[in-house]
């Protein structure tokens, strides 16, 4: 390994309390705090090599040169890191994820968490977890939550210094499983970055943000006490409040497909029957069904029997972003 190369892996995360809307778009200071769980088994692996011989940055994603928009986003992010490290060198970034191709699960969280870890290490910067989380946030808000391990809270803060994520419980704390019902392989119509900038056009966003401290407190406590009933109720409510904001933005964003709603209704029924499970959806139609590990096989087989569900992936609580041999 040359002195200016490093490789890191990071997991995506699923938010139980969502990040939607920024008070500072440039620095990605969010409108509200959020809570998530890293997803073990799914990961992005990224190698970064800085060199005085490169004239521009280069980005290879899953074995192919990335499109210009993705390269621009990465280059802009590397500019922040070059600023911290006081270097003008360009970099070659090679990134791969192990999510099955065509699941619509490509995650900017895992990508920018792994890139932050690898790029800063390649330049010899020694950073605390908190500093790394702040840097990852500049690339993609939710990436700051993929730096620490297990169950993670992102405190919204008001500026670059106080907006970062930290672990509230290790991965071993609670044996939850995210059973991800993949219903679409298509790309998102409107990506999250554009979506965040529409949040304030919804008359419901102020109410969502004002009530966020209550939902954060309930979910944090439910996680710490491993109390599934409250957890399930608030996680579902938080997902639906975010989608209500999305659907009432200008222009409106509808991420749910008919099968997404069908799954949500079935999950509610299953819970009423006594199976500990609840649903949450990000900016897409796939449904994350969070279950206790004892009921994950039953939940997975029920999800698989719903027409329109293409695949069900399972992920347990995951570890932190980490440097690996490259």
Question: HSE of 109 in the Cβ direction (CA atoms, 13 Å)?
Answer: 27
28 vs 82, beta carbon nearer ligand DP6 = 28
User: CA 160, CA 131: separation in Å to the nearest integer?
Assistant: 10
Question: HSE of 38 in the Cβ direction (CA atoms, 13 Å)?
Answer: 34
**What length does the chain have?**
326
| CA–centroid distance for 36 within its chain | 8
CB of 87 to ligand DP6, least distance (A): 25
44 vs 192, beta carbon nearer ligand DP6 = 192
User: CA 4, CA 124: separation in Å to the nearest integer?
Assistant: 8
Neighbours of 273 (CB within 10 A): 8
CB of 15 to ligand DP6, least distance (A): 3
Residue 196 interacts with ligand DP6 (CB under 6 A)?
yes
Cβ burial, residue 81 (10 Å; 0-12/13-18/19+): buried
Q: Which of 7, 11, 18, 182 binds ligand DP6 (CB under 6 A)?
A: 18
CB of 18 to ligand DP6, least distance (A): 4
Contact status, residue 30 vs residue 19, Cβ threshold 8 Å: yes
75 vs 192, beta carbon nearer ligand DP6 = 192
Residue 230 interacts with ligand DP6 (CB under 6 A)?
no
13 vs 295, beta carbon nearer ligand DP6 = 13
Neighbours of 98 (CB within 10 A): 13
Q: Which of 12, 33, 141, 157 binds ligand DP6 (CB under 6 A)?
A: 141
CA-angle at 129, arms to 125 and 130, nearest 5°: 105
Contact status, residue 9 vs residue 43, Cβ threshold 8 Å: yes
Q: Which of 38, 47, 133, 140 binds ligand DP6 (CB under 6 A)?
A: 140
141 vs 150, beta carbon nearer ligand DP6 = 141
Q: Which parts of 247-306 interact with ligand DP6 (CB under 6 A)? A: 282-283
50 vs 278, beta carbon nearer ligand DP6 = 278
Contact status, residue 317 vs residue 13, Cβ threshold 8 Å: no
Q: For residue 226, give the DSSP letter.
A: T
111 vs 270, beta carbon nearer ligand DP6 = 111
Q: Which parts of 73-92 interact with ligand DP6 (CB under 6 A)? A: none
User: CA 42, CA 107: separation in Å to the nearest integer?
Assistant: 10
Q: Which parts of 101-120 interact with ligand DP6 (CB under 6 A)? A: 108-109
> Tokens at residue 312, please?
């069900």
Question: How does DSSP assign 27-74, residue by residue?
Answer: TTEESS-EEEEEBTT--EEEEEEEETT-SS-EEEETTEEPPHHHHHHH
Residue 28 interacts with ligand DP6 (CB under 6 A)?
yes
Residue 35 interacts with ligand DP6 (CB under 6 A)?
no
Q: For residue 196, give the DSSP letter.
A: H
231 vs 270, beta carbon nearer ligand DP6 = 231
Residue 193 interacts with ligand DP6 (CB under 6 A)?
yes
CB of 22 to ligand DP6, least distance (A): 8
Q: Which parts of 145-184 interact with ligand DP6 (CB under 6 A)? A: none
Interface ranges with ligand DP6 (CB under 6 A): 15, 18-20, 28, 34, 108-109, 140-142, 192-193, 196, 282-283
């Amino acid at each position: 390994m040359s002195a200016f190369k490093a490789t890191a892996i990071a997991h995506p995360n699923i938010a139980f309390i969502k990040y939607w809307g920024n008070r500072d778009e440039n620095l990605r200071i969010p409108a509200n705090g959020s809570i998530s769980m890293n997803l073990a088994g799914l990961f992005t692996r990224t190698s970064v090599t800085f060199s005085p011989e490169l004239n521009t940055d280069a980005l290879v994603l899953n074995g192919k040169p990335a499109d210009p928009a993705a390269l621009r986003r990465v280059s802009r992010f590397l500019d922040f890191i070059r600023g911290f490290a006081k270097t003008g060198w360009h970099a070659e970034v090679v990134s791969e994820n192990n999510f099955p191709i065509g699941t619509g699960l490509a995650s900017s969280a895992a990508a920018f968490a792994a890139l932050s870890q690898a790029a800063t290490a390649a330049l010899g910067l020694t950073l605390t977890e908190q500093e790394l989380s702040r840097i990852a946030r500049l690339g993609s808000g939710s990436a700051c939550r993929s730096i620490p391990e297990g169950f993670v809270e992102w405190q919204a803060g008001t500026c670059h210094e106080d907006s970062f994520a930290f672990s509230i419980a290790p991965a071993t704390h609670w044996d939850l499983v995210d059973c991800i019902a993949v219903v679409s392989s298509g790309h998102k119509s409107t990506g999250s970055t554009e979506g965040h900038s529409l949040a304030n056009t919804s008359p419901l966003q102020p109410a969502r943000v004002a009530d966020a401290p209550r939902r954060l407190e309930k979910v944090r406590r439910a996680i710490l006490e491993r109390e599934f009933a409250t957890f399930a109720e608030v996680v579902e409510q938080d997902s639906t409040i975010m989608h209500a904001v999305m659907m009432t933005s200008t222009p409106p964003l509808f991420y749910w497909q008919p099968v997404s709603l069908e799954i949500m209704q079935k999950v509610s029924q299953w819970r009423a029957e006594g199976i500990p499970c609840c649903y949450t959806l990000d900016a897409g139609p796939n449904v994350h069904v969070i279950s206790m590990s004892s009921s994950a096989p039953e939940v997975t087989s029920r999800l698989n029997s719903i027409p329109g569900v293409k695949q069900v992936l399972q992920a347990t609580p995951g570890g932190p972003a980490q440097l690996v041999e490259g």
